[in-house]
Amino acid sequence: MKPLLKFLIVALALLVALPALTQVTEEMASTVKGFDRELTLVEEALDEARGSDSALVGLYDRVRAVDSQLLSTGVALSPRLTEIHARLEQLGPALEQGGEPDALQQQRVALTEERALINSLIGQLEDMSVRSRRLENEISEARRDLFATTLSRRYDVTAAFGSDLIADLKVRTADFADKVGSWASFVWRFKPGPFLAATTLALMAAVLFLVFARKLLGRLIRRDPEATDPGYFSRLSVGFLGTLLPTLGLWLFFIFIYALYNYFSVLRGDIGLILMTLLLGIGVVNLTWQLSEAVFAPRLSQWRLVAVTDRAARRLKLLVLIMTVTIVADEVITQILGVVGDSLPITVAKSLVSSTIVGLTLLAIDFVRPFPGGEGKPDRPWPGVVRFLLRGTGLALIVAVAAGYIGFADFVSKQIVITGAVAVTFYIGHLAAREMSRENELLHSRFGKWLRVTFELSETAIDQLGLFAGVFFTFGLALVGVPLLLLLWGFKWADIRGWLLGFVNEFSIGSISISISGIIAGIFVFIVGFWMTKLIQRWLDKDVLTRSRIDTGVRNSVRTAIGYAGVTLAALVGVAAAGIDLSQLALVAGALSLGIGFGLQNIVSNFVSGLILLAERPFKVGDWIEAGGISGTVKSINVRATEIETFQRKTMILPNSELINSAVGNWTHRNTIGRIEIPVGVSYKSDPKQVRDILTGIAEDHPLILGNPEPYVVFADFGDSSLNFELRGYLADIGNILTVGTEIRFAIFERFEAAGIEIPFPQRDVNLKVVDKDGAVVAESTADLDFGTIAADRRARRDEE
Amino acid sequence: MRRHHNKTSRLSAAVATFLAITEGAGAAQLTNKDTESYTVIVTEGGVKNELAIAGGETLTFCNSGCFLTLPSGNKAALAGAEGVEIINGEAVVK
């Protein structure tokens, strides 16, 4: 039975799985062989490439390309190994006494062979990874060496300007003219149609783009010469768009023309290279022109982005252009030399001229006095550091050239121009960002007004948008600018990316290792948790608790409790996700608990009180309570304190512990019913029964006073001047106590007056006794005497009147 | 409140994207399930290293992918973040 089963399994496997899988393995084997060939090619090419940096970079990229695939190829192979391993286990070891079916044995042999093959492939890949690493190091070293020799190599300048130069120039010019001429005649003879078509098409595309762009955005990029003091944001956006549109148009033209020429195979390899360099060069010069026009605006000082004088703006623009043209020309000539054959005298002469021009231009920039000096004073020069740098590098360049260190001068001048261009561009970007975030700057710009109208944003929103945009822009600039500068300085993209990843993944300070991605992940988890808590809260509150008609106090408590629980949970998970060990936190908490016990006693007591308030619910949000000498409506019950709004609309924050430890009066605890009491005094002349009836009538007539419990009148006291009554009635909502009280008092006054019932003033009857020396009574005031009623009795006086 | 909510959700989207971009390969775990100790060869970044692992021990290694050679001569390539178990001298990649 057992052998038969095995046989069946194996037959099935042989039929279905094996051929396909071996095919995959074979494909992999050829891939591995390809890698090996590529590495060998690079190794062979290395010695020849040692003289040229670009060739070395090309080789390096090739090695990197192989290197990056080695591991993934190995990883793709590995699962097959596990499969084979599993299948071999299934098959079991070969039976010693034999008797196995042939197919089974073949299967085992095939599998073992395949395993050996895969093992050897992975081994090869492993070796190649070591090899490619060594190659990478070697190439990097070669580049370093080349760089060092280029910089330190000294040329004989005077010899370069000898007859060799003239002879070389003649030969190379003729060669170049020949090449261009032959290409032109080739085009003329064989491809006149495509050539013209491509040129016309590209031209049309560019012109169409420019016309449409001008039509659409023309108003935005026009710099109105009559405008007085446009805002910085307007200046910037106009400058930016004004640079962008023509540049885009030109680049579009270049890209089209190059692509179309290629498509119609009008170009030949060498001519294509030269054309590309030429187009790139013209593009760069044009970009610099537009950019410097936007920044310096020599003729329209109100549109200028930097605060320099008219004269300085003119000069700076010119000097910047001179430098750019010099560097571009240098590059184009280098490219042409690459095509027609290198020549040392020409290279030396070219670098000498370009470096000298750059050096002199730097000195000229140094002499420009850019800042206006104020009344009668001469214009102010650059700040000291800038002047020092300009003068130092300018002089160093000229000295280096004169001493024959052409390579050094060439390198420095190019780096200065390119780095300078990038740095200045980003600096202006930074200034723009700062201006953008300045108060109300965006608001007063055309864009801001457009935003306001289109999206109906408030002024504050736009101002905040400006601030946010400014900050965001600055960060973006740093994020783009720093790697760009590093790239220009010869760092490799892979290195920069590695640093960035390393920084993000994990970096350590001393023994503490911090992982930014971990922290970000933690924050992210926390935000998600927080957001989900809010979601659950809202869902529970809106859809479940409302429907179940639970009273608002419980609802509020449940919502708050869920909120705190959710946030705590999210925080804990977030901390865990950030890679912070919770047990360590517990340790810290344990150590701090004593301190917390003392220092945070109040906070903790308030916190616990808050929890008790949520559970016990002596009052809920909206209740009218009296506590700690405050009377008002509860606005919210928080974990540390409770917010109470008094009737004067003053918000009082009452610590929860006070609400727990001392008496709290709640007018609206179980219900909102409350009693209103209105005391009133009537004169002794009135009929108490009539008074009672009137008062009861008033209470019964009032719509807000409940019929049950009935309102009633209390005959409270025989007062000094009046009979004191008290009208008591119950209100469904105690919140109406003031309005109802007022209305009832009005009614009492009116009905008493109508019924002739008097509300008396305080009365005093004063009896005077006049006594002589012996103590005998001379006169005694009585009611019938003239002065029996004294003037102090105002009622009497009133009666007389 | 509404706007604030929008902002947070946009921020979280940005963070998610950022994480997706920067998510690098984690380290691999090598566990020796046997009692005897082995020496494995790890080639990472073009550098060969020998790694001794005692019976029952678990090691974290290979941060950005590596080649692994077991004492039996069998090999494996790891992208990182895998778990590898040595059972009877053979590697099982999880």
Place of tokens 């003053």: A650
Q: List chain A residues with CB under 8 Å of B76.
A: 74, 78, 81, 122
Is A528 an 8 Å CB contact of chain B?
yes
User: Which of A43-47, A104-108, A584-588 is least confident?
Assistant: A584-588
Interface of B with A in 35-54 (CB under 8 A): 43, 45-48
Q: Where are the beta strands (DSSP E) in A523-672?
A: 624-627, 630-637, 641-646, 651-655, 664-666
Interface of A with B in 98-127 (CB under 8 A): 115, 118-119, 122-123, 125-126
Mutation site, A39, A129, A525, interface B, largest B CB count within 10 A: A129
Is A129 an 8 Å CB contact of chain B?
yes
A229 backbone φψ class: left, alpha, beta (φ>0; ψ -120 to 50) = left
Q: Taking each helix axis from N to C terminus, what angle separates A2-16 and A18-49, rounded to the nearest 10 degrees?
A: 50
8 Å CB contact of B78 and A78 = yes
- Among A122, A524, A531, beta carbon nearest to B67: A122
User: Which of A8-17, A58-67, A595-604, A723-732 is least confident?
Assistant: A8-17
How far apart, in whole angstroms, are the C-alpha atoms of residue A140 and residue A670? 83
Q: Residue A432 CB: number of other CB atoms within 10 A?
A: 22
Is the bond leading into A709 cis (omega within 30 degrees of zero)?
Answer: yes
Mean pLDDT of the region A235-260: 83
- Among A81, A130, A531, beta carbon nearest to B74: A81
DSSP state for residue A545 in the 8-state scheme: I
pLDDT of residue A109: 85
Q: Residue A305 CB: number of other CB atoms within 10 A?
A: 19
**ipTM summary value:** 0.74
Place of tokens 């540390």: A640
pLDDT of residue A725: 94
Q: Which two tokens stand for residue A212?
A: 């449409």
Residue in chain B nearest A499 by alpha carbon = B22
**Whats the size of chain A, residue-wise?**
801
Annotate A475-487 with b (16+ C-beta within 10 A) or e (fewer). eebeeebebeeee
Q: Over the stretch A629-643, which tens digit does the pLDDT of each residue have?
A: 888 999 988 888 899
Residue in chain B nearest A137 by alpha carbon = B46
3-state secondary structure of A724: strand
Residue in chain B nearest A520 by alpha carbon = B15
Q: Which long-range contacts (CB under 8 A, 24 or more apart) does A214-223 make?
A: A214/A245, A217/A241, A217/A245, A220/A446, A221/A245, A223/A297, A223/A300, A223/A303
Place of tokens 């808590």: A533
Mean pLDDT of the region B32-56: 84
Is A81 an 8 Å CB contact of chain B?
yes
State the pLDDT confidence band at B1, using cuts at 50, 70 and 90: very low
State the pLDDT confidence band at A772, using cuts at 50, 70 and 90: confident
8 Å CB contact of A71 and B73 = no
Above 50 in pLDDT, residue A797?
Answer: no
Q: Are A439 and A463 in contact (CB under 8 A)?
A: yes
8 Å CB contact of A85 and B90 = yes
Place of tokens 């093992």: A119
How far apart, in whole angstroms, are the C-alpha atoms of residue A285 and residue A279? 10
Q: Over the stretch A584-618, which tens digit does the pLDDT of each residue have?
A: 667 777 777 777 777 778 888 888 888 888 888 88
8 Å CB contact of B16 and A122 = no
Q: Are A409 and A416 in contact (CB under 8 A)?
A: no
Name the burial class of residue A257, with classes exposed (0-12), middle (13-18) and buried (19+) by CB atoms within 10 angstroms of its CB.
buried
pLDDT-above-90 percentage for chain A: 13
Above 50 in pLDDT, residue A788?
Answer: no
Q: Are A262 and A188 in contact (CB under 8 A)?
A: no
Q: Where are the beta strands (DSSP E) in A604-690?
A: 624-627, 630-637, 641-646, 651-655, 664-666, 674-682
8 Å CB contact of B18 and A79 = no
Q: List chain A residues with CB under 8 Å of B18.
A: 520
8 Å CB contact of A133 and B15 = no
Q: Over the stretch A345-372, which tens digit does the pLDDT of each residue have?
A: 888 888 888 889 999 999 998 888 888 8
